[in-house]
Structure 1
Amino acid sequence: MSAPTVTRQPAVPQPWQHHDRTTLLDSGSYLIHRDTVTQPDGTEGAFEFHQARVDGALTVAVDDQGRIAMVRYRSYVHGEVLTPGGDVDPGQSPFDAALREFHEELGLDLRVENPDVVDHPRLLAVAHVPPTAHWPVAKTGHYFWGGTLTREQMARIRLSDEHTEWRSAPVRGWKDVMCDRDYKRLMFVDRARRSGTTVYQERTTARQLDRHGAPRDFEGIVVFVTTPDGRLLMNLRDRKPSIAWPGYWTPVAGWREGIETAFETAAREVMEETGVAVRDLRVIAGPRHELVSHHTVVLHGTCEGDDSALVLGEGQANRFVPYGEIDKLVGPTPPYVGHYLQLIGG
């Protein structure tokens, strides 16, 4: 009779034992630690590891005219002009970090100044920021709503030593003082503020397209809506200096809302401004006109009807204009109109 087989159970590994820690480097956002440990096999030794503080928290506040408050940093590392914010400290939540940074950088404690904002925290946006030449680790930024600041509150702003100035301005007013990367992020955050929707953004080396071939990271659209008999739907824009092409005859254009796709933004803007249901939307292929921002998607769509079917939802007037009469309109048209009409065969 053979001897019974004995199955040996593997030894239960012991947990790591941590004895003490020495921080070799603490640069604020990057740390190097050396721990004295006992490993699961009983061996004692040192374990060295690197730790990056990768979470940031920022606050978006506006003045009584809806203009966004920004600060200028002394250092180029973070970006020269940004909303108030900074790193999330160990043991701190992103929202608490945003409140702390706002207080430290502007001298205003939102717990006192805008308590309703603190009682009802609102996360506007989350942005994944990949490494750059000046910032070698990826970060995740949390943007929180800071509410509206009164003129009296803004008069009491006192900057920290990190900054040289602050001011408030419409989104378009920041374009010339911010790098393109930071301006694009500002438009994305303001879209969340306007729409009341939390949005997510990540930046990759290659531009990502949706299933219709439109960029996912767009912020505005221009729609060339044409009829089978060769007319272009045009809108006479208001004479407001804060908008693009004030007082011009343009195709329908507008800003993205919430998490819309380019096609959804186009359909909504055409309906809101003119009452027309556009169909057969497509991205216009071909070279971009130099006066059209690369944050804008240019599309072509079709419809049927005449001026009697149009509803004025925005601007001064709407018209279906024959291609050959566009140059004869009483009022200027942007130079890009002819460029894109050629691309769609108009």
Structure 2
Amino acid sequence: MQVIYNGISHLGEALEGVTKVFVVCDSSYPFLNIKHDIENMGTPHVLFSDFTPNPLYDQVCKGVDLFQITKCDSILAVGGGSAIDVAKCIKLAVLTKDGNAALIPPLVSTRVECDGSKIPFIAIPTTAGTGSESTHNAVMYYEGAKQTVTNEGVLPDYAILEPSVLKTLPLYQKKCTMMDALCQGIESWWSVNSTEESYEYSRKTIELIMENWRKYIFENDDEAAVQIMLAANYGGKAINITQTTAAHAMSYKLTSLYKLPHGHAVAVCLPEIWEYMLNNLDKCIDKRGSDYLLDIFMDIAHAMGCENPHQAIVCLRHMMVDMELWNPVSDRKEDDLLMLSASVNLVRLKNNPIELKDKTIRYLYDTII
């Protein structure tokens, strides 16, 4: 069972019993207000930050080598989703008998044996978006292809939520990461894998964001930051149960093709996909049926403070306009549509409650770009 701590002051409790910490941190680390707390945590540590925002397999392997050479016995990830994902990959590679091979095809698509209790793992997110601190999934790239690494053994044992780190985030990054959290809450709720537990995490994610997003984005309000960070954590917990759906599946190539940050890319997809699903309930593939799905759409809308799903879709679009998060524009649209349509992760489409065929995916991309 994961332990959630509120505040960096609990770092010592999370580190109890460890002797040497492997700190995985991203490029924001030197500028963090909690850097002093980490450097003075009273436990010997080794820093590893030699990776890019979309981490590569070779970079993860460097981290694995350094962890083993320095004989660390625990991991502390400090940063956004990429830093936490790198830490997860390192932990899995160190613990599994398959080593680094567990991170790449063909083993990456299986659940290799991993006893996570052997290496205590603490995550301190410095953005409020992915909720990666509370998931057993990680993303990295091998030979240009995105790999999703999934294993129960890499779920952090402790997550420390310290909202003050959000205070100095660039405004655009705050917008993108917050929208990623909101989209995760929405997608998890309508996923074919949703459960009573995931519903509640989704509801909390959406309600907290809708109640606080303006103060968080436009006023840099401290209390709003607390609530948005909590919302992102709930979103991670929801997705940890259900996995993501079509909006995420369609977002990844938008990120690489148009250099859109992940949260921005997901957020331009979701309203178009939701509108299509609402107008095509007869294509429902959720075993619970189309009437059930329409009720879920209504529940999501109500959590957003809207009367119905149509109003909720309009609300999402207005949010994007207010934050100046525009859709990408292509000057070679036909070529891009072919590339985008061929890129979609079919596994994530299986989690979507409405069937999306090739022609539909192309149509949706046409509306997005």
The structure showing larger relative contact order (alpha-carbon pairs under 8 Å, at least 6 residues apart) is 2
TM-score after normalising by structure 1? 0.30
**Counting helix residues as a fraction of each chain, which structure ranks higher?**
2
Return the index of the structure with the highest Cα Rg.
1
